Chains A and B, each alone.
Chain A
Amino acid sequence: MNLPVPLHATGGLYNTKSEVRLLSHVAQHADRGIEATVLDVHGWSAIVLHSLTPLIPEAPVEGQDYSYYFLFRESGLQRFLLASTDTKLVDVLLDRLGLRNRVGKPAISISKLVSELSSDPAEYSMSAVHARIEGFGQALRSAAFYGNDVGEAAMFRQLLPKLTPHRVTLRHVARRREVLSASYSADIGFTYSGGTSLRDVDSALRFLSKRGYLDWDASMAAHAEDGEPDGSYK
């Protein structure tokens, strides 16, 4: 399976209350136009969903099937990342696999992340911060900041107490590239451009997890560590 490159992937992090091996569900649905391929990067797979009709609003192409690509990353038995070119496609796939009602999403403490990256910067900088602004009613509701290192700007740090950040894009400082965007509700986005970009996503998620910003589920963490210490984000 040849994934289109670059692929601007958007989706989410998911957890389940029971063991759900998404790939085995995919295997069961091979006859329904869903197939998976294991990628070279540990833990990552590509999934393609074929359809005779468009699954998202797009210009119809006469006499041609529609192929939708997904990136899947398993982390332990009850956690995974699933992303595609459109968030709606992720819901469609989970629906088709019968998993939509069996998965939940962890929380990412974006406020804490933004605050700490501003006061004690790390190997990641913030290249975009989206925030709600409370206290001004409908007159002023939100703000977004862009740059190579938003937290380094004194103006941003001065404003921060007035902001409620809900989405942030992390940039790897030394490699000078944006790696991952993440929201409070564990919606994520990244650009797939080959194996390196997937390893970058792994590192960023590991950073979020290690620093305590991404809390999958305390009761599941020990299980995951036992099961797959090297391949998980913990």
Chain B
Amino acid sequence: MLRMVGGTHFLVFRSSIAEPDRSYVYSYDRFDDALAKWDAHSRISPIFALEGARPPKLSANELCWLFFLGPIFPGVLAELEFSGAYLTLGILNVVLFCTTPQQCDTARALATSLNAIWEEWPVTGNVVGRVATGQCAEPHPIARELLGPIRTPTLPFLPTIREAQTLLATTYGRALLHNLPADPILSRFSKVFRQLLDQSDLMAVEKLAYLVTTNVALSRHLWQTYSGSASIAAHPCNLSTNSLLAIGTASLALQNLARFLEKIYENARLPGRLAHLKNVPPYPAAHPIPLANLPSTDPFWTDTPLFKCEPSYLPPTAEEAAQHPHLPQLTYFSSRDGFRSTDISLSAPLEVITGCNTPFWTLHTLTHEITHTLIHSLMGQLLPNLTDSNSIQQTLDLLRPETRPASLHDQFRAFLTYAIWKMNSPIEESITASELGIRIRRDARDADEVLTHVFDYLYHYHSDSSKYVKAVWVSWATIPNIGDRVSQYVVRCLCAIHSNNLRRDNGVSITVDTLHELLTTVRKDYPEAQYLQQAIDELARRRDYYIRKLNDRALLVKFVRYVLFSEDLAREMARGRETVESLKSQSFGDERITNPLAFVEQWSQDNELSPIRSIWMLQYLAHGSTQ
């Protein structure tokens, strides 16, 4: 068992134009000491001691070595035979301090046996000698399909397209260079992205937006992950506090967590299942009725109609998967974007790196962003195309009592449209096509938030109201100036909790009481978390308002609870939870994790930020996950 004890030290690397053939490396045990000797060429990264290692002594006149290697799971380093060992946030996530040639040989043998890439820096009196490298000498060929043209209107887009092409190819090449799987994400992204841009019904400006978003996400992912490696000296990182070794480990942790959820939802094929309902007769087949009129206790809802269309929950065959390729989201860190998703990218705030051990900056928040993407695709399938008046008229026709729906899919189209129409106009009895278009355009975002919150609560928080309320309100506390949005957050939170009470007599009132009780408890546990008192006061002061808002959104809640939710899929999400509970914080053993989400859930409960515990989590997520 390897323990992360001994604190944080800092490595500082300096080169200068005045001495082009010379570079220096220093170690400090305090950041302020490193900063005191800063110059224009300084690069720095924290290193995290293993087994009580002191900062490597690099100033001595005797030859010593810094041996960087990675990406590896620290658990494989059980027996350390070095003068110091440290973890880093970089993709070269381990540094070994060697003071004898024998230790150097051991380090090389270790790196070779693990198929890791490595750099060996001989150091005498802080001066870095001739660097030796391993495992990355051979150029890795870029897959031909990544180098092909992107078919889309070219002229004004040309620089943006070229940027995307080169970024994709470079990122792919760098992933291969570091023995990371490039095909499942980058090749697939390239393929589906090219298909997307080739679509004739997509407007040029939308294509440009996709290209720009891709370039932003790829460039950030590229420098955050692969700077500070192959070679360290030649690839500085833009992030000044990690400018020496970058944050490849954090970046891979983010990617792995996103990939875990992506795989589950890919296999679940929710959009595919929904589309399949076009072949399923409406309910009841003889005399279909609007689903909005069916009470929650009707057996139709508890029969999980979306998952009944097949005998059981099955992963897609290779042929099916090939027919409906999925665009993987490109992940990156951004302090400005924070937790944010688009159809093609997913970001997390940089604060996660040193604070993901707490609910304030937990990576669990990512599930909300990933859910948004899924909900978008489902809403896109069911709601009318707002740029096409025929499509809106057809949907409106489905709402008429005299219209017989052709399939269950039609009934769900009518149900979701009706739910969105009614969420802010509960007493309106008729509507025109143009008004319907206006309502959907106005309220679809709010509906998306409600659907996302309920979905996230049911699948990713296991319908645990207590955990959910704590997680969302504590994480919202880190966002400045959202006091005017507290009321919206209260409504969304009520919707999530209400998914447990849909069948319950007086369920809306019970939901409001539950949230009030939970907020009061969280307020006691996190007195410094802003907005909580405001939410408690809101609920107490405007109880009738929130009961009305919740009633008006009950159909949306019902849609997620009884259409999109499957207990089989929820079980899939919880698989491997027992492994993460048996781990010991800040220690690495033989055990790997199979469920990164369960790991995040288990280990993000600290009240105080702890960089060491956060780095431990990121190491596990990046290198100790066997999905």
A residues sitting closer than 8 Å to B (CB atoms) are 119-123, 148-149, 152-155, 157, 173-176
Contacts and interface: CB of A to CB of B under 8 A. Distances in A.
B407 interface: no
Contacts of A119: 297
Contacts of B517: 174-176
Contacts of B464: 148
Q: Name the residue in B463, B504, B510 with the highest tally of chain A Cβ atoms < 10 Å from its Cβ.
A: B504
Contacts of A173: 500-501, 504, 510, 514
A120 B503 CA distance: 6
A176 B518 CA distance: 9
B499 to A, nearest CB: 10
B145 interface: no
B514 A174 contact: yes
B507 to A, nearest CB: 8
B200 interface: no
A153 B514 CA distance: 20
Given A174-B514, A176-B514, A122 B465 contact: no
Contacts of A152: 500, 503
B495 to A, nearest CB: 16
A121 B504 contact: yes
B304 interface: yes
A149 B500 CA distance: 9
B567 interface: yes
Nearest to A173: B510
Given A123-B505, A123-B506, A174-B514, 14 more contacts: A119-B297, A120-B297, A121-B501, A122-B505, A122-B506, A148-B464, A152-B503, A157-B302, A173-B501, A173-B504, A174-B511, A175-B513, A176-B465, A176-B518
Contact of A120 (B463, B465, B505): B505
A113 to B, nearest CB: 14
Interface of B: 297, 302, 304, 463-466, 500-501, 503-507, 510-511, 513-514, 517-518, 567
A118 B304 CA distance: 17
A121 B503 contact: yes
A174 B506 CA distance: 11
Contacts of B510: 123, 173-174
A3 B68 CA distance: 64
For the complex of A and B, the 6 pairs showing the least CB-CB separation, nearest first, are A174-B513, A121-B504, A174-B510, A174-B514, A173-B510, A122-B505
Contacts of B503: 120-121, 152
5 contacts: A120-B503, A152-B500, A152-B503, A173-B501, A174-B517
A174 B511 CA distance: 7
A52 B464 CA distance: 48
A148 B507 CA distance: 15
B550 to A, nearest CB: 14
Q: Is the interface of A mostly helix, strand, loop or mixed?
A: loop
A176 B497 CA distance: 12
Contacts of B466: 176
A80 to B, nearest CB: 30
Contact of B504 (A122, A155, A176): A122
A157 B303 CA distance: 11
A1 to B, nearest CB: 31
B561 to A, nearest CB: 10
Given A122-B505, A123-B505, A123-B506, A154 B513 contact: no
B304 A154 contact: yes
A155 B511 CA distance: 24
Contacts of B465: 176
A173 B514 CA distance: 7
Contacts of A121: 501, 503-505, 507
A153 B568 CA distance: 12
A119 B190 CA distance: 50
Contacts of A148: 463-464
B27 to A, nearest CB: 51
Nearest to A151: B503
A29 B457 CA distance: 57
A123 B510 CA distance: 7
A175 B512 CA distance: 11
A56 to B, nearest CB: 36
A66 B275 CA distance: 71
A153 B567 CA distance: 9
A73 B548 CA distance: 40
A176 B465 CA distance: 10
Q: Name the residue in B463, B464, B503, B567 with the highest tally of chain A Cβ atoms < 10 Å from its Cβ.
A: B503
Contacts of B514: 173-174, 176
A153 B506 CA distance: 19
B306 to A, nearest CB: 14
B430 to A, nearest CB: 33
A122 B504 CA distance: 5
Given A123-B510, A149-B500, A176-B465, A155 B567 contact: yes
A157 B297 CA distance: 12
A148 B504 CA distance: 14
A179 to B, nearest CB: 14
A148 B464 CA distance: 9
B560 to A, nearest CB: 15
A154 B504 contact: no
A123 B567 contact: no
A175 B517 CA distance: 7
A149 B507 CA distance: 14
Nearest to B503: A121
A151 B464 CA distance: 15
Nearest to B505: A122
B525 to A, nearest CB: 14
Contacts of B463: 148
B302 A154 contact: yes
A173 B567 CA distance: 21
Contacts of A174: 510-511, 513-514, 517
A77 to B, nearest CB: 32
Contacts of A120: 297, 503, 505
Q: Name the residue in A155, A174, A176 with the highest tally of chain B Cβ atoms < 10 Å from its Cβ.
A: A174
Nearest to B513: A174
Nearest to B566: A154
Contacts of A157: 302
Contacts of B504: 121-123, 173
Contacts of B297: 119-120
B455 to A, nearest CB: 17
A149 B510 CA distance: 14
Nearest to A174: B513
A119 B466 CA distance: 25
Contacts of A153: 567
A81 to B, nearest CB: 26
Nearest to A158: B302
A161 to B, nearest CB: 14
A119 B299 CA distance: 10
Contacts of B501: 121, 173
Nearest to B561: A152
B37 to A, nearest CB: 56
A120 B513 CA distance: 19
A154 B506 CA distance: 21
